[in-house]
Amino acid sequence: MNRLQPRRPTGRKITNLLVAIWSVSSALLGIIILFWITQEVLWRGIRAIDLDFLTHLPTPPGVSGGGMVNALAGTAILTLLASVVAVPLGLWGGIFLAEFGQESRVADNCRFAANVLMGLPSIIVGVFAYALLVVPLKNFSGYAGALALAIIMLPVITRTTEDMLRLVPNTLREAALALGLPRWRVTLAIVFRGAKAGLLTGVLLAVARVSGETAPLLFTALNSPFWPRSLSEPMPNLTVTIFDYAMSPYPDWQSKAWGASLLITVGILILTLTTRWLLRERKR
């Protein structure tokens, strides 16, 4: 009969309180880590950045001064080239998934492959670009680096394009089709315009993702201490420069690696926050 007595709530309430405390402290830990990292990057990076850093070529270890303007330019070129390949492919692929592929098996498989490809380690993509371009051309090259980055961008753009086109209300499509427009014009002229901000977000998201990538560039674009002259040569870039400099025994180079880290982090945080802001605008 004892079982029918109401249980005393003390134990349950204590468990609940402990879980709440655990929750709060977990979140605090995450936030502390975030601020710890950004603070270190800011602190150590700002000391390395001056006008020379942004306008000069690297110097050999021991020689003071010098910067990494070539790596900045190289990263910009690689990202741009990758975008030129991946953005149109991704946009058009996204159109197929959103406009023609609601129920189709082919589209389902594409979607599945895109999700899997997004989760594949980026270093594997680097190995693929190495096998595809570096080995046959017998040379590390900007092309191989850009290819690797484009492969990483492609599924991101495809999937966000699909999601953004889906958000465009069907009534808009129907209204345009009722005017006698062919489907392709409806998509390109009406649906695309409606989803403009969203599509831009997808592209920015993909750019933010690849501009911090190091692993796929390590053995495709490699790195170089000179200006990027040709795409068929090793290409200087910020992230691999960070890796090389950080692993070097010279304090001056390590400090420069922090400077480059600051540039990358600030750039990516700005891009990420912009996309979040754009998305929120959209939802409104």
Partner 1 sequence: MAGGEGGFAARPFSLSSQEIKLSRSENPAFSEVTVGLGAETAKRHQKDRVYRGDTVFRGLTAGCALTIPLLMAAIFIALLSYSLPTLREFGLHFFLSEEWNPVSQQFGAASSIFGTLVSTIIAMVIAIPLSLAIALLLVELAPPGLSRVVGTLIELLAAIPSIIYGMWGMFVFAPFMSSHIQPLVKRWLGFLPLFQGPPMGLGLLTAGIILSFMVLPFICAITRDVFQMVPAIIKESAYGMGATTWEVTYKVTIPYGLVGIIGAFFLGLGRALGETMAVTFVIGNSHKISASLFAPGNSIASCLANEFAEATESLYISSLVTLGLVLFVITYLVQVVCQLMLKRMYRAWSVGL
Instruction: Considering only residues 43 through 82, tell me which ones interact with partner 1, judged by CB under 8 A.
Output: 44
Binding to partner 1 by residue 193, rule CB under 8 A?
no
Q: What's the full length of the chain, in residues?
A: 284
Q: Which of 82, 151, 190, 206 binds partner 1 (CB under 8 A)?
A: 151
Q: Of 49 and 55, which CB lies nearer to partner 1 in the complex structure?
A: 49
Q: Of 55 and 167, which CB lies nearer to partner 1 in the complex structure?
A: 167
Q: How far is the CB of 168 from partner 1 (least distance, A)?
A: 16
Q: How far is the CB of 273 from partner 1 (least distance, A)?
A: 8
Q: Of 21 and 55, which CB lies nearer to partner 1 in the complex structure?
A: 21
Q: Which of 70, 199, 213, 236 binds partner 1 (CB under 8 A)?
A: 213
Calpha distance 67→238 (Å, rounded): 11
Rg of the Cα trace of the chain?
25
Which tokens sit at 189?
A: 């002229």
Binding to partner 1 by residue 167, rule CB under 8 A?
no
Binding to partner 1 by residue 215, rule CB under 8 A?
yes
Q: Of 55 and 270, which CB lies nearer to partner 1 in the complex structure?
A: 270
Place of tokens 């680097």: 126
What residues from 16 to 35 belong to the interface with partner 1 (CB under 8 A)? Answer: 16, 19-20, 22-24, 26-27, 29-31, 33-34
Q: Are the beta carbons of 130 and 144 closer than 8 angstroms?
A: yes
Binding to partner 1 by residue 144, rule CB under 8 A?
no
Locate all alpha helices (DSSP H) within the chain, ordered by sequence: 10-48, 51-55, 69-95, 105-119, 122-129, 135-137, 142-167, 170-178, 183-185, 192-194, 196-211, 238-247, 251-283
Binding to partner 1 by residue 219, rule CB under 8 A?
yes
What residues from 83 to 142 belong to the interface with partner 1 (CB under 8 A)? Answer: 88-97, 99-101, 106-107, 109-110, 112-117, 119-128, 130-132, 140
CB atoms within 10 A of CB 216: 28
Q: How far is the CB of 91 from partner 1 (least distance, A)?
A: 8
Backbone angles phi, psi at 203, to 5 degrees: -65, -45
C-alpha distances (whole Å) from 186 to each of 46, 158, 174 are: 50, 19, 9
